[in-house]
Amino acid sequence: MKNCILGALMLISFWSQAQEHAWVYFTDKPNVQTAINNPSTILSPRAIARKNLHQTTIDARDVPVNETYISSIKNQTGITVKAKSKWFNCVHVLGSIQQINNLTNLSFVQDIVFANDMLNAKSNQNQDEAIFNQKFEVNANYSYGASSNQITMMQVENLHQNDFTGSGMLVAVLDSGFPNVLSNPGFADLNQDNRLLGGYDFVARSTNFADPNSHNHGAKVLSDMVGFLNNQFVGTSPEASFYLFRTEDAYAETPLEETYWVEAAERADSLGVDLINSSLGYYTFDNPDYNYTPQNMDGNTTFITKGANIAVEKGILVVNAAGNTGQDASFPIINAPADGNVLSIGAVDQNGDYASFSSVGPSADGRVKPDVAAQGAGAAIIDPDGSVTFSNGTSFAAPIMTGAIASLWQANPQKTNLEIMQIVRESASRYNNPNTEIGYGIPNFSVALQEVLSIDEHQKNTTIAYPNPTTNNLYLSYASAEANTLRMYNLLGEKVLESKNTKHIDMTPFAKGMYLLHITKGSQEQTLKIIKE
């Protein structure tokens, strides 16, 4: 356990014999161009449609790692492969220093980077041991009940009153565990509407993502987005859909968790996820040799932050808790991956004032961090037993913000992740005068909604589908007389309709939910999100 106290000699002996963490990078991937030319072999239809919608390039990073290389690594003496990353074309291994260094003899190994930077070319890491409670970023007209303050502080109720409740948006939650999410009354609507699409436990390598014995942090985080108890509690995106990924081992702190996080982000991208909520942060580990320094929080140093940056490049809007180190002199800065090109979230109290535990900015390279803030002190949550309670931490400010953004983005899915992030920043209370505590301040989603609904010249030249949402009839208005091919997919990526030049689609036979309508006009492509109510 992390609270065990060992003498100096015992620590030296332990760490000298312990296995090391390292990332082993490969030289190449098989059949890259063939895979890119046939994206359906490596990505789901929804993922392809999302990338087309936002003109996100499908590239070599989307191609899986060479399994032959992985098998060869597994067969090396003393080496254990714990995780892999297609974005970085690498595997995360455990082994002795010598055993890991021996991997350089393999022709397909390009580079090896040890988590303990003292074993690499340079080292400037020297931080205190991790503290368990700092791993996590601590502990329609609705009657919002206990969640009312955190909703109205950002005018999220205005989104809901305009029927923007996250419907059709897909969110991945990366956290420590999700016990009882299949039985918790706070998630009854989520389950009954079949909007919990699945998940995976990367730590245990298990599909049992809702293990009742797992740590409950992720379930609490989820409640702030999609929890619902009539007259008691409403999340900020009560009708969004979710994947749940366990990437955090709550009882140990190792660099392997960074790689689990990147693996989950890659899985989310391949599934066509729109947003990632991550209420996790890293800067110290059980073995202090792996610790990061405040100078490492520059947006492009840690493995997890570089992975988060790629997720953003791929079109995902990544929301990450800023951390709970507050004004701590030993680590006076936000955690990874909140230092990346993500939307990092600080915490305020019920009055909108800075919460003293919330990590401060700027990033090591001088960017405004956190980006914005939401209520994290005295935030309402739903416990795994279904009761409403309150907790503290940027862990809860982040999902409150994620859900609000999911509801906002539903209003105009044509907007890119970067456009939505900037609109949220510009709506915030301190946009013209950001500070180190809450960045650009508390967003105003009434203001953000008006900006999201504004139509630019590009949109005027695209196909319009109406009414959307619809209950039965969907009508299409084309910008040109060119031949149009239409293909519609459900949320699982299954094609449910294909036709040419139709101006009317009867939605009556289709189940309630979100569909992707892919329209091809000559060399031009467009994807619309259609909601069937």
DSSP 120-155: SS------PPP-GGGTBT-------BTTHHHHHTTT
Distances (CA, A) of 360 to 294, 327, 390, 394, 425: 11, 7, 23, 11, 17
* Contact present, 201 and 250 (Cβ < 8 Å): no
The least confident of 67-81, 138-152, 320-334, 403-417 is 138-152
DSSP 75-86: TSTT-EEEEEET
User: β-strand 196-201 against 241-246: which pairing, if any?
Assistant: parallel
Domains of the chain as residue ranges with CATH: 8-29+64-119 (3.30.70.80), 132-452 (3.40.50.200), 458-532 (2.60.40.3080)
The SS3 of residue 254 is coil
* Contact present, 518 and 505 (Cβ < 8 Å): no
The least confident of 68-77, 354-363, 470-479, 500-509 is 470-479
**Other CB atoms within 10 A of residue 95 CB:** 22
Average pLDDT, integer, range 185-191: 96
The least confident of 97-106, 204-213, 428-437, 489-498 is 489-498
Helix and strand numbers (H, E) in the chain are: 15, 22
pLDDT of residue 126: 35
- Convert the pLDDT of each residue in 460-504 to its tens digit: 456 777 777 777 788 777 666 567 788 888 877 788 899 887 888
User: Would the pLDDT of 33 be above 60?
Assistant: yes
Q: Is the dihedral of CA 77, 78, 84, 85 positive or negative?
A: negative
pTM of the model: 0.79
The SS3 of residue 365 is coil
pLDDT of residue 136: 52
Proportion of the chain above pLDDT 70, given as a percent: 90
SS3 content of the chain, % helix, strand, coil (to 5): 30, 25, 50
The least confident of 139-148, 154-163, 181-190, 410-419 is 139-148
Catalytic residues: 175, 217, 395
* Contact present, 99 and 85 (Cβ < 8 Å): no
Distance of alpha carbon 287 from the chain centroid: 27
Proportion of the chain above pLDDT 90, given as a percent: 70
Question: Quick one: tokens of 207?
Answer: 């599909």
Average pLDDT, integer, range 112-127: 70
User: Would the pLDDT of 341 be above 80?
Assistant: yes
* Partner residues linked to 173 by β-bridges: 244, 277
What are the backbone angles phi and psi of residue 376, rounded to the nearest 5°?
-130, -15
Average pLDDT, integer, range 382-389: 95
CA distance 391 to 138: 8
Range with the largest mean pLDDT of 147-161, 454-468, 509-523: 147-161
* Partner residues linked to 504 by β-bridges: 475
